[in-house]
């Protein structure tokens, strides 16, 4: 059945049912909810001193193609991108609103799958979808707003918290998402395990929610999530903190499957690919040591913050000579 | 200059500057802000016990045409639609995130005007734009999330609060937005005052924020804002409250300019036109009397809530006979 046959209000009813049946009803966010889907606005009881909010959007033929993505993957990724922003400031996510645009000839079953993908990821972090908006549109867009909380102003990770002398570190491995995208665009065939790993790296990233909170607990002050690409996002952080940075490209942890499949090219993917949704953070050596001591996830120091902001981000090869990337990272419109 | 020449990050810088220079820096929302534009998520100090959130979206060639709307009007209307949802539950709005999709060949000056329109309305209600997302897209869409607060669970206006025996009332006058749209679509020429009034009714609606709070203070429990159309929105409220409704069509307050320009047709515009963003609410006669005694805005009783929910919304003409509208109201996709 097409969305145009069901109509806006029929679709709202169906999605409400899917959310009600599949979303974790026992989570704290659900228990505190006063008004959810079906009223003019959502309302919940909140006792945290600090509120957080962010929005991200996946747009057809810019962020994804319906030729390669499943609808469930799109739902997961749309939710992941916004949750990652909450992770990057060390917050606790709670609620999501979904503003969805789609053509009337979209299959209802596809939209149901989109929401199942969002719910699957949301359930892992106690995030409840509590409302949204549906609009007919010539293209599909999925704009996901996420609200969260923090218990302490002093424990927010910000882009402006980096200081000269800090080490620069990243969680996990980089370049997997870019490798997945390249594999899909070029219809490459590789072994099934690698194919699945790279596809998941691109479509099913895991937002580093618990990791962001752990960093904040251990005294980290500066972080950003890697959505545009390592170099590009580090530039944003440096600019906000009025500092520069030096990165040893051999120190950057490249996604092992990306390295296997793409060899030397995987380094560029790790430097400028984006959409890995790992966290980049800076802190003094003793704080980094504390983080490493308690972390159950990979933490790799890749460089250091320098006071000279005019140089921006400098990449150095293994001989300590400057290295130039082919592309700094993703930027819309250009 | 085109957006594609400035790039995403140049545009973010420009919009941040416009917001910083034009937004009311003394408002409570700005004073409580900890992290705004330029970080991964926004953060603010909040001490209200109840948080509110809503999202609405204007989509090109569905909600507006760039042939008739100015960008400043679009900004105003996008903000108004979301603020109206907060008004409809009696809340206090505080912050907005804007998720914007647009083609790269859009003029930068136009996007600046879009934000000036949002800021102009936001300033009237102490609402600060604290972040958002920019995406290239084949069409323009403006998805506006608004966060607010409420001091008391008992003072939320909901769609499910209507009771049999309640009077049904509306604020202001209806049909002005539909009349404005018709005038624009058909390139009608009327006198300049009427033309301006109807254009403003469509593009520059005033969300009933203070009015929603006043209704809640006076003991009203049920409300909805009129975005889809009187009959359609009343149907939503009846369904949520499991009741029916009877409306006297002669009692419906038709926008005076719509009546002057469109004569008898203005009644249909008032019944099913939508986008007037007035509030429809229900309450016992004594509560309505209290509201009327303190209101500085028009309040008109147009019918009553009945226990028979199977009949839905019944329209009655001046002789008390059933009246059928040409169209129930706006619904996406159909």
ipTM of the complex, rounded to two decimals: 0.95
Judging contacts by C-beta atoms under 8 Å, the chain A residues touching residue B130 are 53
Q: Give the nearest chain B residue to A34 (CA atoms).
A: B153
Residue A176: phi and psi, rounded to 5, are -65, -40
Instruction: Quote the CA–CA distance of A194 and A176 in Å, as a whole number.
Output: 10
Instruction: Quote the CA–CA distance of B154 and B220 in Å, as a whole number.
Output: 10
Judging contacts by C-beta atoms under 8 Å, the chain B residues touching residue A240 are 38-39
Residue of B3, B55, B130, B142 to mutate when probing chain A, most A C-beta within 10 A: B55
pLDDT of residue A328: 67
Plot region of B90 (φ>0 → left; ψ -120 to 50 → alpha; else → beta): left
- Under 8 Å CB pairs connecting chains A and B tally to 249
Measured between alpha carbons, how far apart are the two ends of chain A, in Å?
Answer: 38
Largest Cα separation within chain A, whole Å, is: 64
Could B53 and A97 be called an inter-chain contact, meaning their C-beta atoms sit closer than 8 Å? yes
- Say which of A48, A62, A224 has its CB closest to residue B137: A62
Residue of A39, A85, A216 to mutate when probing chain B, most B C-beta within 10 A: A39
Element (H, E) at B311: none
Residue of A1, A10, A40 to mutate when probing chain B, most B C-beta within 10 A: A40
Could B156 and A35 be called an inter-chain contact, meaning their C-beta atoms sit closer than 8 Å? yes
Residue (of B27, B325, B70, B29) closest to B175 by Cα position: B325
Residue ranges in chain B whose pLDDT is less than 50: none
pLDDT of residue A326: 65
pLDDT of residue A327: 67
Q: Give the nearest chain A residue to B131 (CA atoms).
A: A54
Instruction: Quote the CA–CA distance of B11 and B17 in Å, as a whole number.
Output: 10
- Say which of B38, B99, B138 has its CB closest to residue A240: B38
Instruction: Quote the CA–CA distance of B260 and B274 in Å, as a whole number.
Output: 19
Could B41 and A51 be called an inter-chain contact, meaning their C-beta atoms sit closer than 8 Å? no
Report CA-CA distances (Å) from A315 to A157, A170, A230, A304. Answer: 24, 15, 11, 11
Judging contacts by C-beta atoms under 8 Å, the chain B residues touching residue A280 are none
Residue (of A100, A101, A83, A79) closest to A92 by Cα position: A83
Residue of A41, A57, A58, A159 to mutate when probing chain B, most B C-beta within 10 A: A41
Could B11 and A333 be called an inter-chain contact, meaning their C-beta atoms sit closer than 8 Å? yes
The whole-angstrom distance between B260's CA and the closest CA on chain A is: 32
Could B50 and A44 be called an inter-chain contact, meaning their C-beta atoms sit closer than 8 Å? yes
Instruction: Quote the CA–CA distance of B129 and B93 in Å, as a whole number.
Output: 11
Q: Give the nearest chain A residue to B147 (CA atoms).
A: A53
Map residue A75 onto helix, strand or coil.
Answer: helix
pLDDT of residue B86: 98
The whole-angstrom distance between A334's CA and the closest CA on chain B is: 5
Residue (of A174, A212, A226, A234) closest to A291 by Cα position: A212
- Say which of B95, B99, B131 has its CB closest to residue A143: B99
The whole-angstrom distance between A169's CA and the closest CA on chain B is: 17
DSSP conformational letter for A65: -
Residue ranges in chain A whose pLDDT is less than 70: 326-328
- Say which of A41, A225, A240 has its CB closest to residue B54: A41
Instruction: Quote the CA–CA distance of B37 and B7 in Å, as a whole number.
Output: 17
Q: Which two tokens stand for residue A190?
A: 């590789």
Name residue, tokens 């962010």.
A54
Burial class of residue A135, CB neighbours in 10 A (0-12, 13-18, 19+)? buried
Residue (of A292, A253, A293, A295) closest to A276 by Cα position: A253
Could B137 and A59 be called an inter-chain contact, meaning their C-beta atoms sit closer than 8 Å? yes
Could A99 and B61 be called an inter-chain contact, meaning their C-beta atoms sit closer than 8 Å? no
Q: Which two tokens stand for residue A240?
A: 């906000």
Could A43 and B97 be called an inter-chain contact, meaning their C-beta atoms sit closer than 8 Å? no
Q: C-alpha B284: how far from its chain's center?
A: 25
Instruction: Quote the CA–CA distance of B251 and B231 in Å, as a whole number.
Output: 14
Judging contacts by C-beta atoms under 8 Å, the chain A residues touching residue B138 are 60-61, 138-139
Element (H, E) at B96: strand B92-102
The whole-angstrom distance between A320's CA and the closest CA on chain B is: 30
Helices in B186-229 by DSSP H: which ranges?
A: 192-203, 209-217
Instruction: Quote the CA–CA distance of A174 and A185 in Å, as a whole number.
Output: 19
Residue of B39, B94, B154 to mutate when probing chain A, most A C-beta within 10 A: B39
- B163-190 burial string, b = 16+ CB within 10 Å, else e? ebebbbbbbbbbbbbbbbbbbbeeeeeb
pLDDT of residue B329: 73
Plot region of A229 (φ>0 → left; ψ -120 to 50 → alpha; else → beta): left
Residue A252 half-sphere exposure, CB side, CA atoms within 13 Å? 30
Could B137 and A139 be called an inter-chain contact, meaning their C-beta atoms sit closer than 8 Å? yes
- Say which of B6, B43, B59 has its CB closest to residue A156: B43
- Count of H helices and E strands in chain B? 11, 12
């Amino acid at each position: 059945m097409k969305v145009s046959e069901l109509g806006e209000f029929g679709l709202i009813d169906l999605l409400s049912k899917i959310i009600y049946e599949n979303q974790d009803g026992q989570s704290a966010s659900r228990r505190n909810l006063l008004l959810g889907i079906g009223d003019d606005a959502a309302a919940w009881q909140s006792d945290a001193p600090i509120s957080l909010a962010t929005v991200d959007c996946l747009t057809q033929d810019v962020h994804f193609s319906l030729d390669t993505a499943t609808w469930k993957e799109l739902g997961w990724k749309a939710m992941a991108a916004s949750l990652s922003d909450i992770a990057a400031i060390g917050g606790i996510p709670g609620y999501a609103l979904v503003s969805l645009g789609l053509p009337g000839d979209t299959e209802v079953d596809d939209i149901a799958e989109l929401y199942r993908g969002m719910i699957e990821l949301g359930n892992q972090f106690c995030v409840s979808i509590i409302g949204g908006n549906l609009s007919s549109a010539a293209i599909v867009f999925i704009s996901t707003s996420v609200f969260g909380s923090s218990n302490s102003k002093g424990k927010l990770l910000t882009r402006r918290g980096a200081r000269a002398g800090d080490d620069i570190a990243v969680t996990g491995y980089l370049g997997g998402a870019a490798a997945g995208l390249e594999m899909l665009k070029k219809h490459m065939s590789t072994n099934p395990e690698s194919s699945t790993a790279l596809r998941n790296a691109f479509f099913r990233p895991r937002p580093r929610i618990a990791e962001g909170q752990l960093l904040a607990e251990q005294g980290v002050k500066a972080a950003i999530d890697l959505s545009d690409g390592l170099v590009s996002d580090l530039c944003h952080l440096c600019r906000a903190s009025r500092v520069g940075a030096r990165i040893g490209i051999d120190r950057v942890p490249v996604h092992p499957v990306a390295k296997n499949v793409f060899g030397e090219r995987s380094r560029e993917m790790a430097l400028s690919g984006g959409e890995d949704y790992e966290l980049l953070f800076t802190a003094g050596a003793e704080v980094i040591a504390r983080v490493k001591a308690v972390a159950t996830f990979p933490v790799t120091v890749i460089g250091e913050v320098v006071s000279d902001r005019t140089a921006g981000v400098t990449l150095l090869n293994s001989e300590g000579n400057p290295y130039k990337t082919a592309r700094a990272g993703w930027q819309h419109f250009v």
